A and B are shown apart, each in its own frame.
Chain A
């Protein structure tokens, strides 16, 4: 026990039941905070499993990917009924994210676990950075992309002053960035919602609320594309995935329910700080040969 101070792994003598309970509780917290802060729980799951529970990063990534499908599909229900998400933008960009996800999943088998850990650390640092930044709507004066018009992507979303029209810009650049988001998702087992929102909100000029809801909608399909590859490689372990997926799902449902009556700005800061700390830890672990 002394030799494993700070870690909870098999050498600390955990049996399946204890492991299930502890991982389930950790996953519940990740899902809960992820939903409450809008930052998603997937990004902290892999570091939690790899650093605290000493799980091999390939098993951790497989379990995280499955839980991402569950939360994305669960949360999409609420968003779809609000009328913010745009199924045409989502479907078109899913061509890019699923191809990227396949690429990422293939890459995952060819690079070292330390390299995966290092990329993960950088993504965590970036997510923490975007989370701490306040969101501003940037009105674009550019003309709409003719391609977006031809693809029927321009839409209308509900606002306080009634339905508001929006145009979609720079489709090819957004499509390219979406391929990258898919590749990260397939490589790291995360939803990569931060990169998806970056592509839609910043590059394509889509209103923030439409971007976030459509992004969430796309995450499940993207993750399913790499989950098939992960399954056939034997990265998805049922004994580990069970507490992770059930914990995250229950946590995110509880978080979404509490969202309406909580002030989340401070919590968002705290969670962003946790993400940055985990990012540093992952980078350190990767370079010190611990991952």
Chain B
């Protein structure tokens, strides 16, 4: 009746923990690098976040962000780091789905896949 707190679940949790750490570290590094580029070039420009204008279209979807980052634009590189950060929990859910399949827990493969579908809809589908 109880789910045994078995070795496999423990192992999954350790892998997930390492995955999360790697994702956050990578994302923070990219954001920091982009921040340095941005401030070196635009550090003395005036700030204005009081009026909402929305981001330019190339910073609203991943293809434009990648293009902007490859052109070494500071804001593009920061946005790429933010995308890495958003991708980290998505990768976690994808890995969990795989791990449940290895445990042959098909019910939870379905649950994890459902969460993944919602995430993909939000990130790519709109």
- Interface pair B47/A10, CB less than 8 Å apart: yes
Task: Give the contacting residue for A88; candidates B3, B60, B89, B126; CB below 8 A.
Answer: B3
Q: Are A231 and B27 in contact (CB under 8 A)?
A: no
Query: Is A228 an interface position by the 8 A CB rule?
Result: yes
Residue from the set B24, B32, B74 with the largest chain A CB neighbour count within 10 Å = B24
**In the complex the two chains form, what is the Cα distance from A10 to B16 in whole Å?**
42
CB distance from B24 to the nearest CB of A (A): 5
**Contact present for B14 and A80 (CB under 8 Å):** yes
Name the A residues within 8 Å of B43 (CB-CB). Answer: 15-17, 20
A-B pairs with beta carbons under 8 A, tally = 225
Which of A29-37, A90-98, A131-139, A281-289 lies at the interface?
A90-98
User: In the complex, are the beta carbons of B13 and A81 less than 8 A apart?
Assistant: yes
Cβ distance B122 to chain A, nearest Cβ, rounded Å: 3
Q: Which residues of B contact A56 (CB under 8 A)?
A: 49-52
A239 to B55, CA, bound (A): 11
Which of the listed residues A80, A81, A105 has the most CB atoms from chain B within 10 Å of its own CB? A80
Residues of chain B lying within 8 A (CB to CB) of residue A163: 5
Given A237-B55, A242-B38, does the pair A87, B12 have CB atoms closer than 8 Å? yes
Given contacts A70-B28, A87-B13, A249-B24, whether A155 and B50 have CB atoms under 8 Å apart is no
Task: Give every chain A residue within 8 A of B71 (Cβ-Cβ).
Answer: none
Partner of A16, one of B42, B55, B86: B42
CA separation between A99 and B34, bound complex, in Å? 32
Q: Is A165 in the interface zone, CB < 8 Å from B?
A: yes
Contact, CB under 8 Å: A98 / B45: no
- Would you call B5 and A224 a contact (CB within 8 A)? no
Tell me the residues in window 232-274 of chain A with beta carbons closer than 8 Å to chain B beta carbons: 232-243, 245-246, 249
* A225–B92 touching, CB < 8 Å: no
B41: nearest chain-A partner, CB-CB: A16
Q: Which residues of chain A from 1 to 52 have a CB within 8 Å of any chain B CB?
A: 9-11, 13-20
Q: Are A92 and B79 in contact (CB under 8 A)?
A: no
Name the CB-closest residue of B to A101. B122
Give the A interface residue count (CB, 8 A): 74
Q: Are A151 and B107 interface neighbours, CB within 8 A? A: yes
User: Is B98's CB within 8 Å of the partner chain A?
Assistant: no
A243→B35 contact, CB < 8 A: yes
- Asked whether, in the complex, the Cβ of A246 is within 8 Å of the Cβ of B32, the reply is yes
Q: A15-B47, A95-B115, A221-B93 are in contact. Are A70 and B24 (CB under 8 A)?
A: yes
B126 contacts A59, C-beta separation under 8 Å: no
The CA of A11 and the CA of B49, in the complex, are separated in Å by 11
Residues in chain A near residue B32, CB distance under 8 A = 242, 246
Chain B positions within 8 Å of A92 at CB level: 108, 111
Please name 14 further chain A to chain B contacts, defined as beta carbons within 8 Å, in addition to the given A66-B85, A151-B107, sorted by A numbering: A15-B45, A20-B43, A59-B52, A69-B86, A73-B20, A73-B24, A76-B17, A88-B3, A95-B118, A226-B122, A232-B61, A235-B54, A239-B75, A241-B31
A-B contact pairs, 7 of them (CB 8 A): A9-B47, A73-B89, A154-B2, A224-B88, A227-B86, A238-B59, A245-B28
Chain A residues in contact with chain B, CB under 8 A? 9-11, 13-20, 53-56, 58-59, 66, 69-70, 72-74, 76-77, 80-81, 83, 85, 87-88, 91-92, 94-95, 98-99, 101-102, 105, 149, 151-156, 163, 165, 220-221, 223-229, 231-243, 245-246, 249
